[in-house]
Chains A and B, each alone.
Chain A
Amino acid sequence: MTIESEVQSLRQVSMFRDIDPAKLKLLAFTSERLSYEKGDVLFHQHEISDSTYVIVAGNVEVWLSAGNERIKVTELGEGAMVGEMGVLIDQPRSATIVAGSHVVALKIGREVFFDLLRQFPQMSLAVMRDLARRLDATNAKLLAVTR
């Protein structure tokens, strides 16, 4: 697995689709490529948000816990980004992420993430677009629920 193939996977991520390949290479190079076995935890809810993850292969489960209850909210697959919200607003992790299969993820440190956003406006735009899309989806869901 080399940077080149990681760049290919990153291009699958919706928010990175429009970004110059050289910049994606930089993103891949400055991040850590980690593999997880099924059941390994990427991060726990309430932990400090020190990095974001891009899932390069496999899928992860998103778990929320309140009191003693734990519920699986959703599963995310290849190309998903997790943990970026907490990093952006400097809040603890809002959920626990567990590997649902063998997972390969790129771990982008908090500082690197910000550096990249600052350096490359396209990247900031991509993150904004992604967040806006998610907000839009949430609004739609909310509407569906309240109707």
Chain B
Amino acid sequence: MAKIDKSFFRYVWRNSRREQITILAVVLASLPLYFWSLDLPKSIVNDAIQGRAFKNGTATIKAFKVVLNLPDFLGGKSYELFGGLDMERATYLFALSMVFFVLVLINGGFKWLINLQKGVMGERMLRRLRFDLVRQLTWFAPEEIRGMKPAEAASMINNEVEPIGVFIGDAFVQPAFLGTQALTALVYILVQSVWLGIAAGGIVAIQGVIIPILRREQIRLGKRRQIASRQLAGRIGEIVESSPAIRAHATDPYERSEIGSRLASLFFIRLDLYNRKFAVKFLNNLLAQLTPFFFYTVGGYLALKGQLDVGQLVAVIAAYRDLPPPVKELIDWDQQRNDVTVKYEQIIEQFDVDEPHEGEELAAAEEVQRSPKISVDGLSVNDLHGTPLVENVSFSIDQPGHITLAGPPGSGGEVVARAIAHQITRWKGTICLNGQNISRLRSGSLARVLAYAGPEPVLFPSTIRDNVVYSLRRKPPELPGPPLPKEEVKRRHEAERSGNPLEAPGDDWLDFAAAGVKNGVELDHLILHFFALLGFEEDIYRLGLLGRIRAADDEKLGHQFVAMREAIRKRLAEEGKSRLVEPFDPKRFNSNATIGENLLFGEPVGEVFAEDNLPSNPYVSKVIEADGLATRLAEIGLRLAEMMLEMFAGVQAGNALYERFSFLASSDLPGFQEIVNRSRSRRRSETTADRDKLISLALAYVEPRHRLGLLDEPTREAIVRARSRLREMIPKSLASSVEFYDPELYCNAAPVRDNLLFGRVAYGIANAQEQVSAVMKSALADGGFLNAVYRIGLDYQIGAHGRLLFPRQRAAVDLARCLVKHPAILVLDDALRAFPGMEAKAMLGRLAEEFKGRLLITALPGLDDAVPSDLKIRFDKGRLVGIDRGEEALAPSGEVNLSARDAAEEQRAREPARDEATRETPQDSLPTTQQDSPASAQEDEGAVQTQVAE
């Protein structure tokens, strides 16, 4: 497929020629009828109303007679094709009016058809344009794409092309349609009266000349606004990305003022635009109104003098009614054309990239899989401002093994690793894979045999599983043949018409064969195998416990987990650990759960029954009002508030102690002080809002945890009673908002762990969580359910950029992604930096073991001497300073060089800034490459919170 045409009209014409011609044909077909509809008023007025057709005193005439007059050179004969109908004057008037009405309907129908076709065609072209832009985005070399701001690219492809799409429908059709329509009207007027025609034409000409001139400024302003709003989008993206830095340095006032000034410039551009636009509009309207003035005076005068009959005048005025709108719209079209072509060219410029060469297939693919050989010859890489990163590096290995690219950080090994993995594409020299130059390979064929893990894992906001199997999503699924469902036929047809791929996304893309498995279950096991290798297994287990069964796909598993409850409880009893867990019992208060949990005794689905919303929920408040429970809870809330106010008096607002321990945020304190004061002075007069707030406090209370001695036995009993009322009387409309706990049933809304435990771990016993977890795990292992839990763990949603995972876990996911496709070559470029030194060493050892018989290429700062390697290429300051082969390389000290790891960290931190500084930046910008590193501090906190919450 070729790249997008630089000229807007050529692009549109090339890709929608057939549709454009069809619509143009419809436009042409509509014209004769349109002309007739202009002419008809004349007949109505002259022939029917004024009775000219009946001048000879006849009562009836032959109406609608159709006579074909042959021209003289064909003999000049006349053929009567239709003899006509006998009609009286009144009947004739009605008949003509009916014809007029029908013509109005037909013309309307044509308009409808043309508009619809235009709209559909425009949308199709928009789809194609967006798709082409995204496709071109994937053509950029890694070096180039780093210079692009994600938010700006998104804004261009998403928002800025939208008006272009709307215009595409009009690009050819609108001028043809409006032009011919205006011309028809003008010709008609000219035919009726040359003078009126000249007047009308003259004014149209004035409109056509003056207004575009006035609008030129508007276009210029529009362009400025487009650029300004794109930059705004970019800036907003940056604010989101750099929010940790903004918070850390409290620069939000600065950021706000910066955004404020951008908004101001957008505002003032629009203000200027309005000034112009409405001035032009005023002029336009004036000119449009001027013409009827001429018609009434001049036309009226001509009619008085008998040079024009009244019917003609009425028809001319009616025809003129149709003249200014097309002219105005034509002018609009012309302005849009200007506007859109500028926009289009602007966008296309940003995406100006040549289609990469098709490239060669890997000739010796099977041989590479069996025995990969790499040779690097005279490799030199410069950074963007020409400073050499590595110079003239040559080495080769002709059998599987482990190549260490050693040297202090920044000495060049990592650059060579990236070049081999084709993460850098601009170099001098050659890199050959089994004798074939990798620069000439199709990127797909290199990816089939080589995997690369870099320092910054690229993760998608999806499940762990999806992220791992991403490397296998490369086998376009076979398209099923007919018979196809109607929807599918439609989908494919449309995809074809707009140059989109026919294949739908989904799991059909997974290349199971490459992973050496047959189906999804086997693939899961393979992933778990790799996670075990990467020391990520335990994490997956814990994430599995926090996860939920996908209700639809595993009812059986739910039943089995319910059965495990008993097994776990039995095992706890056997080990004398029963006191560690207080089981849920529908008839008993669970003192280790919050009051709210005890009251609801179920898992909220959605927000309706979330703990914060319980007190204000009308149904819940009705239930707890019944036997005075609400009053008791409000009382507990009140005492809780009093105690908090007493205890936290003197603790400064904003102190972390509040966040961690208080039931109240520091900002709530004054509010609660007032509530407490009100309640103390006149106990009875609390408002409902006060009461709800107090009950809200009480609902979070757990006696053994908070130990404030606020719960007495009658209250507990009242809560248990309210619990059963709540469940029994729940209205149908609310039933789906909560899933009640039931000892016999699996609760789909609750995490697996809660389902297995069906109770709460007791507070106040040392290491209770750990002990319970261990018992649970051994019970699960004995029951054969560990894998089920692991597989649920793979369903864990990792958030944007994997923010809900720790850096270590992110690295593991990225590595598993590399391993799962069974590459013949694995390139590790500082991919183990998230792991502590000793763990990184152990993992490298395991990876080297796994890659026996394959090729492992590592550039891992600090781990140069950690494990034996078959070939050690030593670098210093961008130069190859030595190659240790075999025995020399095999004698590692086993050392992990921690300072080298730290140095690598620093080096990396400097890198993006340096790249950024040298990039030619057309727009002012902050660095956005490596965008998720500044956010990682905060991300990790999020990860901790989520994962520790159990």
Contact = CB atoms under 8 A, between A and B. Distances in A.
Given A3-B707, A6-B707, A119-B650, A30 B766 contact: no
A40 B46 CA distance: 113
Nearest to A27: B647
Nearest to A119: B651
Contacts of B708: 2-3, 29
A36 to B, nearest CB: 5
A42 interface: yes
Interface of B: 643, 646-652, 655-657, 660-661, 706-709, 763-767
> Secondary structure at chain A's binding surface: helix, strand, loop or mixed?
helix
Contacts, number: 58
B764 A30 contact: no
Interface of A: 1-4, 6, 22-23, 25-26, 28-30, 32-36, 40, 42, 111-112, 115-116, 119-120
Contact of A29 (B649, B706, B764, B767): B706
Nearest to B647: A26
B709 A3 contact: yes
B766 A34 contact: yes
A112 B662 CA distance: 13
15 contacts: A1-B707, A2-B709, A3-B709, A22-B649, A25-B646, A26-B647, A29-B706, A33-B763, A34-B766, A35-B764, A42-B766, A112-B661, A116-B657, A119-B650, A120-B650
B647 A115 contact: no
Contact of B647 (A1, A29, A32, A34): A29
B764 A33 contact: yes
With most chain A CB atoms within 10 A of its CB, the pick from B657, B660, B767 is: B657
B770 to A, nearest CB: 12
Given A3-B707, A30-B660, A112-B657, 4 more contacts: A26-B648, A34-B766, A35-B766, A116-B657
With most chain A CB atoms within 10 A of its CB, the pick from B650, B656, B660, B766 is: B766
> Secondary structure at chain B's binding surface: helix, strand, loop or mixed?
loop
A108 B661 CA distance: 12
A34 B707 contact: no
A4 B706 contact: no
A26 B706 CA distance: 11
Contacts of B709: 2-4
A32 B650 CA distance: 22
A36 B766 contact: yes
A36 B764 CA distance: 9
Contact of B657 (A6, A33, A115): A115
Given A2-B707, A29-B661, A115 B765 contact: no
Given A3-B707, A3-B709, A26-B647, A35 B765 contact: yes
A33 B707 contact: yes
A33 B763 CA distance: 8
Given A4-B709, A29-B706, A30-B660, A119 B764 contact: no
B655 A115 contact: yes
B840 to A, nearest CB: 20
A22 B650 CA distance: 10
B636 to A, nearest CB: 14
B664 to A, nearest CB: 13
A54 to B, nearest CB: 14
Q: Give the top 3 A-B pairs by smallest Cβ distance, nearest first.
A: A2-B709, A26-B647, A34-B766
A57 B656 CA distance: 29
Contacts of A2: 707-709
A117 to B, nearest CB: 12
Contacts of B766: 34-36, 40, 42
A95 to B, nearest CB: 17
A112 B660 contact: yes
Contacts of A35: 764-766
A34 B764 contact: yes
Nearest to A107: B766
A104 to B, nearest CB: 8
A119 B655 contact: yes
A30 B661 contact: yes
A30 B646 CA distance: 14
Contacts of B643: 25
A115 B707 contact: no
Nearest to A103: B766
B651 A26 contact: yes
Contacts of B767: 40
B713 to A, nearest CB: 15
B772 to A, nearest CB: 15
B707 A119 contact: no
A34 B765 CA distance: 5
Nearest to A118: B655
B647 A25 contact: yes
Contacts of B765: 34-35
A33 B704 CA distance: 9
A5 to B, nearest CB: 9
B579 to A, nearest CB: 10
Nearest to B704: A33
Nearest to B579: A35
A4 to B, nearest CB: 7
Contacts of B646: 22, 25
A26 B645 CA distance: 11
With most chain A CB atoms within 10 A of its CB, the pick from B643, B647, B655, B660 is: B647
A40 B651 CA distance: 35
